[in-house]
Amino acid sequence: MYKIVRKKELNPTVTLMEIEAPFVAKKARAGQFIIFRVDEKSERVPLTIASYDREKGTVGVIFQKVGLSTNMLGMKEEGEYIQDFVGPLGRPTDVENKKRVCVVGGGVGCAIAWPAAKAFKEAGAIVDVIIGFRTKDLVILEDEFREASDNLYLMTDDGSYGEPGFGTVKLQALLESGVQYDEVLAIGPVPMMKFVCKTTEPFGVKTIVSLNPIMVDGTGMCGGCRVTVGGETKFACVDGPEFDGHQVDFAELMNRNAVYREREAETNKTHICRMQKAADELMK
């Protein structure tokens, strides 16, 4: 069992948790992920590692409450426990030998972009960060990104905070102004990553994306997280989760990610939370 030592609501749907997991914290690096289970009957869900403290033995994760398991995790409080917290899994972000990079994060994907930006900066690179959100109320980790970057560009779709427009608009402007990047790292919704790649392709800029296909075991055995990269089948859990974005078959990825959408919606409607049921009984 793994203890929740800190919980913070970053916005109405996004939560930060720090979990006591010393063996995971000891080996964790930016770009890797863990797989959690809330209890013994829960599904296995991957979450990217947002932070880690080797001395305290804690690992931070940031998640959006969208499905059954993330909603169940979100109901847990500090001092409570979850069943499983396995990792670190996957390959870490390659931050070596980069003079200048641009990290582009979209929505809750910024939770993954943040540790990558920190790692690039610690490795000595000049780090530009572009983070985009639908509106001001959904902005997360602004102060953390300012500390982890040399230049921060905050965008909102509706113009309610920062600069108006999508992150790709700012990226296009930077590239057209003559800024030279050794690498662009894009992390966020699949359509956003796809359009970041389309933006950088004419400039010949290496672009890496962090993929989020459906995943079960996280060790390469089930094949559920397979993606096509450069015409070859790769497993995101062991070959990734980061890949050359200009080689990714985004159409296939989006189709595969939508396979269980109807089933997930049905489960959310029919599931009866044991914790909420017990609370309702006490209120009678």
Q: Can you give the pLDDT at residue 279?
A: 45
Tell me the three state secondary structure of residue 93.
coil
Q: What is the mean pLDDT of residues 111-122?
A: 92
Question: Model pTM?
Answer: 0.84
Q: HSE-up of 132 (CA within 13 Å, CB side)?
A: 22
Q: Can you give the pLDDT at residue 268?
A: 54
Whole-angstrom Cα Rg for the chain: 19
Q: Can you give the pLDDT at residue 278?
A: 47
Give the lowest-confidence range in 35-39, 149-153, 264-268: 264-268
Cβ distance 160 to 132 under 8 Å? no
Q: 224: closest CA among 233, 213, 209, 240? A: 213
Residues in the chain: 284
Structural tokens at position 255:
């189709």
Structural tokens at position 58:
């804690």
Fold of 100-257: Rossmann fold (3.40.50)
Give the contacts of 92 (CB within 8 A, at least 6 positions apart): 29, 30, 31, 32, 119
Residue type for position 35: I
CATH for 2-89 is 2.40.30.10
Residue 145 Cα to chain centre, angstroms: 15
Other beta carbons within 10 angstroms of residue 75's beta carbon come to: 14
Q: Can you give the pLDDT at residue 177?
A: 95
Give the contacts of 263 (CB within 8 A, at least 6 positions apart): none
Domain locations along the chain? 2-89, 100-257
What values do phi and psi take at 82, rounded to 5? Answer: -120, 160
Structural tokens at position 53:
């403290």
Q: What does the pLDDT look like over 211-222, one tens digit per residue?
A: 887 777 777 788
Q: Can you give the pLDDT at residue 225?
A: 83
- pLDDT confidence bin for 54, thresholds 50/70/90: very high
Using the predicted structure, report yes or no on whether residue 197 has a pLDDT greater than 90. Answer: yes
Indicate the average pLDDT of the chain: 88
d(CA 185, CA 179): 15
What values do phi and psi take at 59, rounded to 5? Answer: -130, 130
For CA atoms 114, 214, 251, 231, the dihedral sign is positive
Cβ distance 104 to 155 under 8 Å? no
For CA atoms 251, 182, 103, 45, the dihedral sign is positive
